[in-house]
A and B are shown apart, each in its own frame.
Chain A
């Protein structure tokens, strides 16, 4: 009887001394910058992570300023836990008619609260992280390299020069291989 009381007291003490946390939650990188040309697109990866031992549901929202320029993937079934970061592909895409210049906004990732308030008036706390996004639309075109997270840009002027050289080579080849006119016999 005495030992049972001691065990129950111990359990109660442990429960009282273990304060519940919201979970640590974050995103890396915390800022994204896209340099793209009109009609161009570019992908980058954001790693969303937590130290929660169990899966945490994640939702996202894109601020109005960049809503027309940014898409994320995947869009559903988002969840993460410790050692299983959520890899989000963020794509910036500009239409041919997009205005030149910088567009700034955020992509916000939010967890669902892990606990409800127990009795009394109060708030269940959800944690979130906002990734600052800047989309610079200019005359520079961005070309995705083979490396997953790397990007490389070449100027539209260089693209034009390459295209001109290719066309000149084709024209020269056609000129040299043209059928020759037969000379008229008198």
Chain B
């Protein structure tokens, strides 16, 4: 009887030892699993235009437009593992790593990450294009980086259309008070400012002056690119449009330094008839930009 009891105790002890030891081994293994990082991958980047369409970009005269580029980034460690996204937008004459320049290069160092779903997340980079951004092919480059600092990049091209635009820094030309039969002894300066992304010529036309009494023909007005007295001004104003092909007003940042307006002056004078007019005389002078 005693021998049987001893055998039972021995079996019980052996069973406890074996299963207990296995349980200890299992607990130790579960705490040591390490998942390696998988580098993110990037889908197709799309550079949208200012209206959110996949079409060419039109800039705005003297102002800015905002364009966006976006892409779906996949990270098999989970979409939330994508930590940051940055973007550059650059003209064909620059590179992604080029310096920022109002004409050819923009950077967004903090693009938006949104719409995490499973292993994907959407990266969206917004860029503000000013009116002097050169026309031609622009490339958007988006770089996404995960929590382990592994990154991936993608690009897309779009076209920035040409923008012919100008501003005249004064809303009027005022010749002041003049006597009958006199002309401008000194020319009146008018400053024309580039507000687009291409070199332009100026086209001038004007209506006849309507006076309190009588009229003055538009042709009594003369203009020139250099300051002079009335007789030395080179061109007579006409009612029909005439292009000044040598005007050649360049783009801000190209014809001038970055951040400095690109201007040209036109000088104006008038001849008052010897008789037939009195009072105040006014007309409309139209200054038109054209690619040139």
Q: In the complex where A113-B171, A115-B172 touch, is A51 in contact with B285 (Cβ < 8 A)?
A: no
Contact string against B for A residues 96-120, beta-carbon threshold 8 Å, 1 for contact and 0 otherwise = 0000000000101010011111111
Question: Contact between B270 and A26 (Cβ–Cβ < 8 Å)?
Answer: no
B265 CB–A CB distance under 8 Å:
no
B282 CB contact (under 8 Å) in A114, A117, A126: A117
**Which residue of chain A has its CB nearest to the CB of B162?**
A30
Question: Contact between B166 and A21 (Cβ–Cβ < 8 Å)?
Answer: no
A17 CB–B CB distance under 8 Å:
no
Q: Which of B55, B216, B290 has the most CB of A within 10 A?
A: B290
Task: Give the A interface residue count (CB, 8 A).
Answer: 47
Question: Chain B: interface secondary structure?
Answer: strand
CB neighbours (8 Å) of A125 from chain B are 168, 170-173, 190, 284-287
Contact string against A for B residues 203-247, beta-carbon threshold 8 Å, 1 for contact and 0 otherwise = 100100101000010000100000000000000000001000000
Q: A51-B195, A126-B286, A130-B288 are in contact. List 14 more A-B contacts (CB 8 A).
A: A24-B195, A26-B131, A106-B290, A115-B171, A116-B172, A121-B216, A121-B270, A122-B173, A123-B285, A125-B172, A125-B285, A126-B287, A127-B166, A129-B165
B-contacting 9-mer, from A34-42, A142-150, A161-169, A175-183:
A142-150
- Complex Cα–Cα for A3 and B213 (A): 46
- Complex Cα–Cα for A116 and B172 (A): 7
B284 CB contact (under 8 Å) in A82, A126, A150: A126
**Which residue of chain A has its CB nearest to the CB of B287?**
A127
B192 CB, nearest partner CB in chain A, Å:
9
- Complex Cα–Cα for A147 and B171 (A): 40
Task: Give the B interface residue count (CB, 8 A).
Answer: 57
Question: Contact between B58 and A24 (Cβ–Cβ < 8 Å)?
Answer: no
- List CB contacts (< 8 Å) of B170-189 with chain A: 170-178
Question: Contact between A123 and B282 (Cβ–Cβ < 8 Å)?
Answer: yes
Q: In the complex where A22-B170, A116-B172, A130-B203 touch, is A28 in contact with B280 (Cβ < 8 A)?
A: no
> What 8 pairs across the A-B complex have the smallest Cβ distances?
A26-B165, A24-B62, A26-B61, A128-B288, A51-B62, A30-B164, A123-B285, A47-B58
B281 CB contact (under 8 Å) in A30, A115, A118, A121: A121
**Which residue of chain A has its CB nearest to the CB of B59?**
A28
- Complex Cα–Cα for A85 and B58 (A): 10
CB neighbours (8 Å) of B60 from chain A are 26, 47, 49, 51, 82-83, 85
Question: Contact between B280 and A119 (Cβ–Cβ < 8 Å)?
Answer: yes
A37 CB, nearest partner CB in chain B, Å:
24
Name B residues whose Cβ lies closer than 8 Å to a Cβ of A: 53-56, 58-63, 131, 135, 161-178, 190, 193, 195-196, 198, 203, 206, 209, 211, 216, 221, 241, 268, 270, 272, 280-291
A145 CB, nearest partner CB in chain B, Å:
11
- Complex Cα–Cα for A50 and B173 (A): 21
- Complex Cα–Cα for A149 and B53 (A): 10
Question: Contact between B172 and A124 (Cβ–Cβ < 8 Å)?
Answer: yes
Can you list 22 A-B pairs, Cβ within 8 angstroms, ordered by A?
A: A24-B63, A25-B165, A26-B163, A26-B196, A29-B56, A29-B58, A30-B162, A30-B290, A31-B162, A51-B60, A82-B60, A115-B172, A120-B176, A121-B216, A121-B280, A123-B283, A128-B287, A129-B164, A130-B164, A130-B241, A130-B288, A149-B56
CB neighbours (8 Å) of B58 from chain A are 28-29, 47, 49, 85
**Which residue of chain A has its CB nearest to the CB of B237?**
A123
A19 CB–B CB distance under 8 Å:
yes
A105 CB, nearest partner CB in chain B, Å:
12
CB neighbours (8 Å) of A114 from chain B are 171
